[in-house]
């Protein structure tokens, strides 16, 4: 055995940095050697005897100094304001300790609470969501959060994003689990969403090293954490082949979560996955009240306003009434919707229940009044 100049915590982080190793193999190594320090000190011939560790991986582990730099990794995390929690730390989430392959290391922006897991619902679905799906996911996120549930999802485009924003509409809590390192928010358009989550409303979490980019394999790995952190899983929209269906399967099979699915139109490809889940035993769900009742959670949503945002200042209200005398309430709703995260025409229309033909002239008026501004990519911001 070679001398090792790393603390037990640093040794765990180092193991997590070795490309291709992963939590299952790390756990197998820890079971054999007893500690991360002993794993990193072991010679190649001993490492390759461990189940799932072949010659190539044993060589990488034995030569870990060539492919990892734990101190640079910790400095990078500090630069981005990221906290690192390892499996041996006391504040590691108890909900994830039930996993057969728990993440060895968690990188965290914001804060989770232990009681987040008590009424945690993963709301998941297609990236290529329809306006119906987006609006439905946001409504479920809002009403479930309003009833005291924590929304768990993956920060992906589409249903995930809508569910996280819904929780924030209610001033509730949400945990976003990423399939990449926290030095790069993916997708980049969700940077504002991340800022809102970590501002007292939950956490953004990843098991991947700070600079790791997303990959085909990283998203299924992420999905198991979303499933394990939840007590119930709600699939809003999903085509026949979807990562959401993978999450739903492990939610039920591996963690015993109650599975719910939202029905859709029978001729829509985005509804095929949900209808298949319902046919196979998932509970058909059309409202947050349905889910809360079936879970035996007595709290009920409070039928709150669509957007949990303050009204415009008196002088802004006066300008709205003067410039748009026939529809100041509609203009105020548009401003509130944009503040709440509906930044494009595609998301504003379903959120406000307006057609593009109705909404476009009002957006133009608000731009002329210098109350909103158009941004690249068809986005609007309140100014």
Q: Architecture of 314-382 per CATH?
A: Orthogonal Bundle (1.10)
From the list 374, 376, 337, 371, the residue with the least C-alpha distance to 353 is 337
What phi, psi does 319 have (nearest 5°)?
A: -65, -40
Tokens at residue 108, please?
């965290």
User: Could you tell me where the DSSP H helices lie in the chain?
Assistant: 8-17, 22-33, 36-41, 44-47, 55-62, 70-79, 94-97, 131-146, 159-169, 191-198, 218-228, 243-255, 272-279, 288-295, 314-323, 328-339, 345-352, 356-368
Task: Give the residue with greater pLDDT, 200 vs 309.
Answer: 200
pLDDT at 199 over 90: yes
The Cβ of residue 151 has, within 10 Å, a number of other Cβ atoms equal to 33
pLDDT at 303 over 50: no
Whether the model pTM is above 0.85? no
What phi, psi does 348 have (nearest 5°)?
A: -65, -40
Averaged pLDDT for residues 371-376? 83
Please give the Cα distance from 33 to 42 (Å, whole number). 9
What per-residue confidence (pLDDT) applies to 368?
Answer: 74
What per-residue confidence (pLDDT) applies to 328?
Answer: 61
Averaged pLDDT for residues 215-238? 94
CB 62 within 8 A of CB 44: yes
Q: Report CA-CA distances (Å) from 349 to 170, 226, 262, 355.
A: 20, 30, 21, 6
From the list 45, 49, 59, 100, the residue with the least C-alpha distance to 250 is 100
pLDDT, tens only, 183-197 = 999 999 999 999 999
pLDDT, tens only, 77-120 = 999 999 999 999 999 999 999 898 999 999 999 999 999 999 99
Averaged pLDDT for residues 132-146? 94
Hey, where are the domains in the chain? 1-68, 107-295, 314-382
pLDDT class of 58 with cuts at 50, 70, 90: very high
Please give the Cα distance from 259 to 231 (Å, whole number). 9
What per-residue confidence (pLDDT) applies to 211?
Answer: 97
pLDDT, tens only, 243-285 = 899 999 999 999 999 999 999 999 899 999 999 999 999 999 9
The Cβ of residue 131 has, within 10 Å, a number of other Cβ atoms equal to 13
Beta-strand pair 232-235/258-261: parallel
Range 107-295 has CATH code 2.30.40.10: no
Name the DSSP class of 50: S
Instruction: Give the bridge partners for 124, in sequence order.
Output: 235
Class of domain 1-68: mainly alpha
Tokens at residue 269, please?
């490809």
What per-residue confidence (pLDDT) applies to 308?
Answer: 44
CB 48 within 8 A of CB 58: yes
pLDDT class of 361 with cuts at 50, 70, 90: confident
Averaged pLDDT for residues 198-208? 97
In a 10 Å sphere around its CB, with 0-12 CB exposed, 13-18 middle and 19+ buried, how is residue 290 labelled? middle
What per-residue confidence (pLDDT) applies to 5?
Answer: 86
pLDDT class of 342 with cuts at 50, 70, 90: confident
Owner of token pair 């409202």:
287
User: Whole-number mean pLDDT of the chain?
Assistant: 88
Angle at 121 between CA 353 and CA 305, to 5 degrees: 30
């Amino acid at each position: 055995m070679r001398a090792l100049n790393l603390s037990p915590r640093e040794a765990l982080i180092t193991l997590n940095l070795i490309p291709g190793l992963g939590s299952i193999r790390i756990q197998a190594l820890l079971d054999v050697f007893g500690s991360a320090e002993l794993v990193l000190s072991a010679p190649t011939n001993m490492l390759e005897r461990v189940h799932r560790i072949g010659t190539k991986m044993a060589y990488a582990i034995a030569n870990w100094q060539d492919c990892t730099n734990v101190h640079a990794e910790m400095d990078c995390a500090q630069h981005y304001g990221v906290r690192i929690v390892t499996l041996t730390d006391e504040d590691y989430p108890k909900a994830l300790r039930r996993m057969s392959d728990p993440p060895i290391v968690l990188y965290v922006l914001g804060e989770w609470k232990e009681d987040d897991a008590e009424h945690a619902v993963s709301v998941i679905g297609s990236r290529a969501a329809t306006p119906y799906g987006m609006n439905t996911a946001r409504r479920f996120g809002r009403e479930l959060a309003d009833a005291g549930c924590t929304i768990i999802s993956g920060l992906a485009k589409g249903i995930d994003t809508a569910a996280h924003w819904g929780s924030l509409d209610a001033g509730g809590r949400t945990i976003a689990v990423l399939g990449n390192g926290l030095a790069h928010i993916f997708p980049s358009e969700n940077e504002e969403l991340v800022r809102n989550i970590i501002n007292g409303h939950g956490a953004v979490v990843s098991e991947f090293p700070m600079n790791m980019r997303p990959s085909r394999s990283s998203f299924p790995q992420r999905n198991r954490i979303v499933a394990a952190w939840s007590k119930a899983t709600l699939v809003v929209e999903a085509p026949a082949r979807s990562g959401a269906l993978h999450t739903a399967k492990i939610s039920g099979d591996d963690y015993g979560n109650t599975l719910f699915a939202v029905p859709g139109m029978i001729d829509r490809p985005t509804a095929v996955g949900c209808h298949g889940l319902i046919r196979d035993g998932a509970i058909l769900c059309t409202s947050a009240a349905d889910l809360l009742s079936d879970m035996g959670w007595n709290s009920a949503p409070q039928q709150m306003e669509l957007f949990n945002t303050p009204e415009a200042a008196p002088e802004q209200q006066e300008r709205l009434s003067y410039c748009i005398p026939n529809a100041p309430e509609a203009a105020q709703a548009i401003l509130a919707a944009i503040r709440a995260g509906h930044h494009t025409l595609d998301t504003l229309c379903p959120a406000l229940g307006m057609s593009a033909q109705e909404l476009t002239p009002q957006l133009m008026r608000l731009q002329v009044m210098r109350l909103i501004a158009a941004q690249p990519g068809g986005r609007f911001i309140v100014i």
